[in-house]
Structure 1
Amino acid sequence: MKASWEKIEKNLGVLQVEVDAERVAGALDKAFKKVIVKVNVPGFRKGKVPRPIFEKRFGVESLYQDAIDILLPEVYTEAIQETNIEPVDRPEVDVEQFAKGESFIFKAKVLVKPEVKLGEYKGIEVPVEEAVVTEEEVAAELERLQQRHAELVVIDEDTAKEGDTVIIDFEGFVDGAPFEGGKGDRYSLEIGSKSFIPGFEEQLIGLGTGDFKDVEVTFPEVYHAEELAGKAATFKVKLHEIKRKQLPVLDDEFAKDVSEFDTLDAFKEDLNKQIKERKEKENEGKREAEIVEKAAEAAEVEIPQPMIDTEVDHMVRDFDSRLQAQGMTLDMFMTFSGQTIEDMKQQMQADAQKRVRNNLVLEQIAKEENIVATEEDVNEELSQMAEAYKRSTDEIRSILSANGSLANLTEEVAIRKTVKFLVDNSKN
């Protein structure tokens, strides 16, 4: 196989590939084996038609597209490795020659990773922010702990208030007809959580146990279910139960229940220390991010839109995973928030562009400074993952190798080492 790469403009170029006739013959053989099981020829059982008879009846050309589909992916991969390019989008392929007994020649327009012209990245000045803990922050942490350890107590003789959790049945109607996804039985809803359509939760305030109410709302003009967008809806609601948080008293007993300390004062002192350590890590992370941001701003790079789109897709998948961990799906989130997937992707564009830019700059700095993830670095990372997931290091390596993620892990380790290099070479 012969492969050559010629840049046309910016990040776009042409990959020209010629594959020898012997590999073409092999691809035609595979194509024949694939299609022959589906071919009916009088006098022969399915899959038993001799090749010469098949070609005489249907023409060898009938195998060409299947053969190209078989051969093209593998030779394209070999060609990008041979020419040392990094595509960031699907290629536009133009087949110039493919025939039995001849070589396979094709050209592919390929968008590749952009070139990065680095600016100053050593000696970046970002001051170290001191971690100061206030009494208000300690009090807020105590209140969060109170909320976490609060009991939900059933309220029988009061009406629903902001912050209460209500158990409701509901069914929604538009123009007098029920609609898909608009019904729920004994649904647990915290008033004020903003998880339902705007205006819904507020109308539950003042209802008592056993009360019924028609809740009138209007779907947002931009809504994932187009048939409901901008429509007025009526939800018939029955309130079964009201639950209200009962906070524990802040005293020594509370400290004993939630910590290893015997007194509230000792617990407060430890909380102060924890908050300070957390703020120090947060400040360190913010400083790292600012140093990377300044290095990226000093560089010159033109980012192709497909790279941004790919990063947006990654961000959506990550968001979906986080939702599932909370017991919610992306479709449910779209329903409650009134957004569409396109709305979400549009909102993620700026962050995605920044992420791509930062990564490209860090990759270029790593090349300039010969920063790589050594085998020792990767093994250390695998050991930490093995400890976290309670698996052996060999199991983790095998899993990552099987799903193609080991190379990604190696790249991530190299990127982290590059960030550390920038921090080590920065000024306070």
Structure 2
Amino acid sequence: MKISVRNLEPTKVRLTITVDSEELDPYLDQARKEIGKQVTIPGFRKGHVPGPIVDQRVGFASVAGEAINAGVPEIYSKALAEKKLHAMDQPQIDVKDVPQSAKDETKLKFTAEVEIRPKFDLPDLDGMEIEVPKPEVSDEDVDKRLDNLRQRFGTLVSVDRPAKKGDFASIDLDALIDGESVDSQQGISYELGSNTMLDGLDEALDGLSAGEETTFEGTLEAGDHQGEKAQIKVKVNSVKAEELPELDDEFAQEASEFDTLEELKADVRKQCEIDAEGRQATDARDAFIAKLQDGLEIPVPKGIKANMVADQLKNTGKDSEKATKDEKAEAEKNVEKELRDQMTLDALAEKMEVSVSQVDVTNFLASIAQQYGMDPSAFINSIVQNGQLGSAVQEVGRSKGMLAGMRAVTFKDPEGNEVDLTRFLGGDEEDGQSMEDQDESVQAASAAAAVADELSDSDSAEEAENKD
């Protein structure tokens, strides 16, 4: 096999692969066997038809076509391995030359254009020290957590006064474009100051009492007129304020297993300290990846970036064609970081010689299925059937490589004291799942979650089609 590589971009290449006859012959023979099992030829049993007879009866072109379909992907993968290239997307294959008969000496020749991971050298981990912040807990942290607990036991009471931030208002909305109503909703409960609906709604409601209404201009976030400006009429039906219980021993007994407020506060502080240690582990992870990338130029594949930006905008309810310049810039920034982090962790996994077992992948997918309330066996089967198993293996490899790399370096706080992250990183023989438990936003979890979303959407579409 002859392989030539042409660099089209820093992250894109075109491979031209010429296959010797002896390399193609096994695929031709296998194609003849498969075709021989499917055709009926007088005088021969199915599966026992000689190759020349198969060529004669179905035509060599059909045999060559099946051989190429089976052989090109395998030959392409071997070419990547031989040239030490790491593909990041599916290739665009273009078959140039094909032998026209069994005796034709023309060699199979095809090109493959694909986006690849750029080459870069990670720093040596031996002796590497990384500084991370200390896990500090303030009285404000404790008070905030206690306030959240109070809110769980709070009640809403009607008030006869204008609405203000923190109140809950029952409202009716009517969106008008050119004087015509395009969307309306009644009896919505909305918390002032939450900024969870239309831009401008919080300002419009502030100061309104029950029975009053106003109009403001806003941009519709969903529906047929998404992204369009509209006049929004809002009417306040009622205003309710949240009434929180007093912080005392009685509240401690109602909200917890403790008898006194002091005991509850001590437990809340302990939980805050555990959370702070988890944040420190996350800070350590981010600092570790940043240290690996320090001084490196890591270009990102343009095609993959464009697709991921479009997907990210779509996931946030934005049309890539209608998104603002700032929204696109923010999405591009996030995608570039995600891609660089992925490529860095892929390279690290290779550097650490990480191996991924079937148990690793099964446990990983089962944990994601559990998060989504899906049956683990059905979810794993769907992953396999949809050709996503390779992605899952890659994500597990990244996670294991990151944990192995973090165990190989030293983390210190600003005072120079060594930070023990064993609880989060696990030992050398452990998978380190505790780190992911502390931070569900790690790339492995987000990637598998995206797969779960995709499968869920596919199932919904299939159900809708069956109903029709």
Per the normalisation by structure 1, the TM-score is 0.71
In the other structure, the counterpart of 1:175 is 178
Give me the whole-angstrom Cα distance separating, in 2, the residues matched to 1:379 and 1:236. 52
Q: Deviations over 1:374-420 (max 9, x none)?
A: 45544665676688789997666545434444443433333223222
CA contact (8 A) 1:15 1:110 kept: no
Query: Structure 1 93/388 Cα, relative in aligned 2: closer, same or farther at 3 Å?
Result: closer
In the other structure, the counterpart of 2:41 is none
2:252 is the alignment partner of 1:246: no
CA contact (8 A) 2:142 2:265 kept: yes
2:344 is the alignment partner of 1:361: yes
Give me the whole-angstrom Cα distance separating, in 2, the residues matched to 1:193 and 1:391. 31
| Residue identity in the other structure for 1:175 | D
Alignment of 1:274-353 (within 5 A): 274-312=271-309, 315=312, 320=315, 330-331=316-317, 334=318, 340=323, 344-353=327-336
| Residue identity in the other structure for 2:3 | W
Query: Structure 1 96/184 Cα, relative in aligned 2: closer, same or farther at 3 Å?
Result: same
In the other structure, the counterpart of 1:119 is 123
Per the normalisation by structure 2, the TM-score is 0.66
In the other structure, the counterpart of 1:130 is 134
Query: Structure 1 98/414 Cα, relative in aligned 2: closer, same or farther at 3 Å?
Result: closer
| Residue identity in the other structure for 2:5 | K
2:356 is the alignment partner of 1:373: yes
2:148 is the alignment partner of 1:144: yes
Query: Structure 1 351/386 Cα, relative in aligned 2: closer, same or farther at 3 Å?
Result: closer
SS in 2 for 1:169: strand
| Residue identity in the other structure for 2:175 | G
| Residue identity in the other structure for 1:370 | E
In the other structure, the counterpart of 1:107 is 111
CA contact (8 A) 2:93 2:112 kept: yes
CA contact (8 A) 1:25 1:100 kept: no
Question: Please, which moves more after superposition, 387-396 or 356-365?
Answer: 387-396
Q: Which runs of 5+ in 2 are unaligned?
A: 36-58, 413-468
Q: Deviations over 1:31-83 (max 9, x none)?
A: xxxxxxxxxxxxxxxxxxxxxxxxxxxxx9xx99xx97x88765543333232
In the other structure, the counterpart of 2:254 is 257
In the other structure, the counterpart of 2:263 is 266
What is the RMSD computed on CA atoms of the aligned residues? 4.4
Query: Structure 1 265/72 Cα, relative in aligned 2: closer, same or farther at 3 Å?
Result: farther
CA contact (8 A) 1:89 1:110 kept: yes
In the other structure, the counterpart of 1:49 is none
Query: Structure 1 306/120 Cα, relative in aligned 2: closer, same or farther at 3 Å?
Result: farther
CA contact (8 A) 2:133 2:283 kept: no
Alignment of 1:218-257 (within 5 A): 218-219=218-219, 231=229, 233-257=230-254
Query: Structure 1 236/263 Cα, relative in aligned 2: closer, same or farther at 3 Å?
Result: same
SS in 1 for 2:262: helix
Alignment size in residue pairs = 374
Following superposition, the deviation at residue 114 of structure 1 comes to 2.0
Q: Percent of pairs identical after alignment? A: 24
